Amino acid sequence: MMMQSKEQGFTLIEMMITMGIALVMMAGMTSVFVSQTRTATMLKNKTEAMGDLFLASQIMQGELRSSKKICWSSTANAQSLVYLPIDSTTPMVSCDPKKYKSFQYRKNTGALCWNQLDGKGCQELIRGLPLVGGMKVKVVSAPPLPDVYEVTLTSQMRGQNNQISLLPLTFKVWARNH
């Protein structure tokens, strides 16, 4: 009697079904990977932008809170927070950012710079601010109190779907040593 050997293996239909299931699983894993990569990139960009805003705000607060006088100046090309340092022996007679130390937001470049009147010009603190609304300043106190300025620095970043998101940071400053 002759025994027939039955071959063990997969049929073509079984292989096609297995490959279809594997393809669906790979597509799902690829979609999750791409989404996670976009989220990580967006969070990295947001963290960097907020870090830059925070550093710039700390420098501004340190200088402005140890000043004798602060004033606000706005022109067509720039907005300036002008201040008189505590160690200055001359009085502040105008709000001219070319005569006194200042933080200047340049509307045409979206950059915030610090003019220390040291002959180096206005040194850039942060760039990439929106051309409109990168720095807003408003007075939030009334006499006889010293002027309290509310400063809002706004950065921009690209989100997951490549849309631009605004990141504002607000703080208050006043001349403590007037």
Q: What is the pLDDT of residues 97-139, one digit of tens each?
A: 989 999 999 989 999 999 998 888 889 999 888 888 899 999 8
Residue type, 45: N
Which helix (H) or strand (E) covers residue 90, if one does?
A: none
Is residue 63 in some structural domain? yes
Q: Can you give the C-alpha Rg of the chain in angstroms? A: 30
108 C-beta neighbours (distance < 10 Å), count: 9
Instruction: Assess if residue 61 is contained within a domain.
Output: yes
* pLDDT at residue number 32: 94
Domain that holds residue 127: 30-174
In the chain, the N- to C-terminal Cα span, in Å, equals 115
Query: In this structure, is residue 9 part of a structural domain?
Result: no
Q: How many domains does the chain have?
A: 1
Inside any domain, residue 1: no
Give this prediction's pTM: 0.77
Instruction: List Cβ neighbours of 95 (8 Å cut-off, separation of 6 or more).
Output: 71, 72, 73, 80, 82
